Amino acid sequence: MQPGLIWGCARSAGGTVLIDDCDDCGDASFRWLHLNLADERTQRWLERSAKLPEPLHEMMLARDTHQQVLVDDGVVGLVLQDFEREFDVAQTAQIGALHIVITPALMLTGRHHPMRAADLMRQRIAAGFAIGDGADALDLVVGTMIGGLGAQVHALSADIQTAEDEFLNERMNPATRDLIAVRRRGARLHRLVAGMRAALVRLERDPDLPALLTPVAERHVQRLHALDTDVASTQAQLRQLRDELDLQAAQRTNQNLYFLSVISALLLPATLVTGFFGMNTGGLPFAHTQAGTVVAAVAAAASSAATWLLLRRRI
């Protein structure tokens, strides 16, 4: 396999076929090459063979991960974010960028670190997905990324609903650490979806966008709008659950404080009585009688009982 090429496909007379070399099927009506941008030989091949406009060439090789769109002389460039993957982990929490350049006869995609969506795209092409032009290729790229984000949003919503059920059924309260992790996932998904939607909206409104790609942008902007609404809904659910948990914790704290306050109020008069009879002064009442301790105990209990009755009347 040619250095720098991870996988590629070309539109031939027999359909879409996978290729192992950047220069294979050079006479095909359309080719798609997925490149490893961390390989320095990729840059040399781009300079020698791709002949991209300078702004798009720089965007293709840049290490910036923020989502952006650029259209120059009929050539479309995008940077879209997705979750990275490792060799032994299908998806990590790390966010990476997929660089995309589309010309009438060629689409280049590249990444500096393995991306989860790129593997799914190749699997779909190997399973028979037809790539006839840039619109089909862009539709597969964006559709696969949105599908992955949608699955993440669905899993996030399921986790929040499970936590809500546990809370409402009073089986157990969700751990604060777990809710913080869910909130972090929701914020990350919101940034991904909102950023991708903003990028495609800019692409859709660009007057230089080729007409072939306009329906693709419009369709996926609508999908991202619905997905962004779902993310906002899950975040609202999470905030409501957090508010209910905070309210429950505040109620428990108030109950404990009320109990401690009542105990303190009941013991204070008794403490005053015992403190009085515990003074080492002359002429202390009941100091020389057999029933002195009993009288002091009765006085302490009576003072606590009187305090209790007074509190009951005031409540």
Say whether 131 sits in a helix, a strand or coil: coil
Cα R_g (the chain), whole angstroms: 35
pLDDT-derived band of residue 1, with 50, 70 and 90 as boundaries? very low
Percent of the chain with pLDDT over 70: 95
- State both tokens at 256: 């404990």
Are 187 and 231 spatial neighbours (Cβ–Cβ below 8 Å)?
no
108: CB partners within 8 A, 6+ apart: 32, 33, 35, 46, 50, 60, 99, 100, 101
Are 95 and 124 spatial neighbours (Cβ–Cβ below 8 Å)?
no
Looking at residue 28, its amino acid is A
Percent of the chain with pLDDT over 90: 32
Rounded to an integer, what distance in angstroms lies between the CA atom of residue 309 and that of residue 315? 10
pLDDT at 220 over 90: yes
Rounded to an integer, what distance in angstroms lies between the CA atom of residue 294 and that of residue 139? 92
- State both tokens at 155: 């899993």
pLDDT-derived band of residue 111, with 50, 70 and 90 as boundaries? very high
Rounded to an integer, what distance in angstroms lies between the CA atom of residue 25 and that of residue 15? 12
In tens, the pLDDT along 282-312 reads 777 777 777 888 888 888 888 888 888 887 8
Determine how β-strand 106-111 pairs with β-strand 31-36. Answer: parallel
Could you state, in order of their start, the residue ranges of all structural domains in the chain?
A: 1-132, 135-264, 265-314
Looking at residue 164, its pLDDT comes to 79
In tens, the pLDDT along 121-144 reads 999 998 888 898 999 999 999 999
Q: What pTM was estimated for this model as a whole?
A: 0.77
The total number of residues written for the chain in this structure: 315
Looking at residue 93, its pLDDT comes to 77
Looking at residue 3, its pLDDT comes to 62
149: CB partners within 8 A, 6+ apart: 82, 189, 192, 193, 196, 227
CA torsion through residues 182, 185, 189, 191, sign: positive
* Maximum distance among all Cα pairs of the chain, rounded to whole angstroms: 120
End-to-end CA distance of the chain: 84
Looking at residue 103, its pLDDT comes to 92
In tens, the pLDDT along 3-17 reads 688 999 998 777 888
Residue keyed to tokens 């909130």: 183
| Average of per-residue pLDDT across 255-265 | 87
In tens, the pLDDT along 145-179 reads 999 999 999 988 888 888 877 777 766 666 677 77
In tens, the pLDDT along 66-108 reads 899 999 988 999 999 988 887 666 667 788 899 999 998 899 9
Rounded to an integer, what distance in angstroms lies between the CA atom of residue 279 and that of residue 182? 61
- What are the start-end ranges of the E strands in the chain? 5-12, 15-19, 31-36, 68-72, 75-83, 95-102, 106-111
Looking at residue 172, its pLDDT comes to 63
pLDDT-derived band of residue 315, with 50, 70 and 90 as boundaries? low
Rounded to an integer, what distance in angstroms lies between the CA atom of residue 104 and that of residue 2? 23
Any bridge partners for residue 78, and if so which? 69, 100
CATH number corresponding to 1-132: 3.30.460.20
Pick the CATH number of 135-264 from 1.20.58.340, 1.10.443.10, 2.60.40.420, 3.30.870.10: 1.20.58.340
In tens, the pLDDT along 50-62 reads 788 899 999 998 8
Looking at residue 64, its pLDDT comes to 80
The residue among 161, 144, 151 whose CA lies nearest residue 189 is: 151
Rounded to an integer, what distance in angstroms lies between the CA atom of residue 286 and that of residue 118? 93
- Burial bucket for residue 271 (CB in 10 Å: 0-12, 13-18, 19+): middle
Q: What is the mean pLDDT of the chain?
A: 86
| Average of per-residue pLDDT across 177-190 | 85
